Amino acid sequence: MTLSRRHLIAAAAASAAMPRVGLAASPRVIGWDELIPPGVPYAQIIGEGQMDRVRDTWLPEFDENATKLNKKLHGAYIKMPGYVLPIDMSTAGVTSFIMVPYVGACIHTPPPPANQLVFVDSKKPWPSDKLWDPVWVTGRMRHELQSTTIADIGYALTADLIEAYTW
């Protein structure tokens, strides 16, 4: 079978117009230190603080660096590890949660600064019997400073995938 130049050009144009199934972007794997903008040392985020004698907890005082966010992460497709602090939960599991850098953050200890917290929303629930296990969350990151009764949160992430973290 002989193909003419016209057939080759038409075939190339048709393949270029076809959807790219299976060529989804790989997520960028990040750690908690990348949520802080370059040039802002973690030590400069937390100030002196004070003791809440009624609740017997330490209340850190954060400076303006605590709400500075890494601009390169806005809109980025990322994968990062963390722990689940449930917000919306049903018998199916957790669909909204605050992802924290260490187990017990915000529950047994004062909350980390806003740029160390990520609000995660997922259509697929994470099983409620695995709340103390670390997770990998993959999805689209965005800047979204929000204040809740639990903590001030700097980032939001719509989860495409939540899976057990293994090392």
In the chain, the domains with their CATH numbers are: 24-35+70-164 (2.40.50.870)
d(CA 82, CA 71): 20
Opening angle at CA 70, ends 69 and 73, nearest 5: 120
pLDDT for residue 5 is more than 80: no
pLDDT digits 0-9 by tens, 23-33: 568 999 999 99
Q: How many CB atoms lie within 10 A of CB 24?
A: 9
Closest by CA position to 61, among listed 152, 161, 143: 152
Identify the top-confidence range among 4-18, 38-52, 111-125.
Answer: 111-125
pLDDT digits 0-9 by tens, 57-78: 767 778 888 899 999 999 999 9
Residue 119: the pLDDT is: 97
* Residue pair 98/159 in contact by the 8 Å Cβ criterion: no
Residue 50: the pLDDT is: 78
- The whole-chain average pLDDT of the chain stands at 83
**pTM of the entire structure?**
0.78
Q: Are strands 28-29 and 77-90 parallel, antiparallel or unpaired?
A: parallel
74 vs 48, 90, 141, 167, CA distance in Å? Answer: 30, 30, 6, 27
pLDDT for residue 131 is more than 80: yes
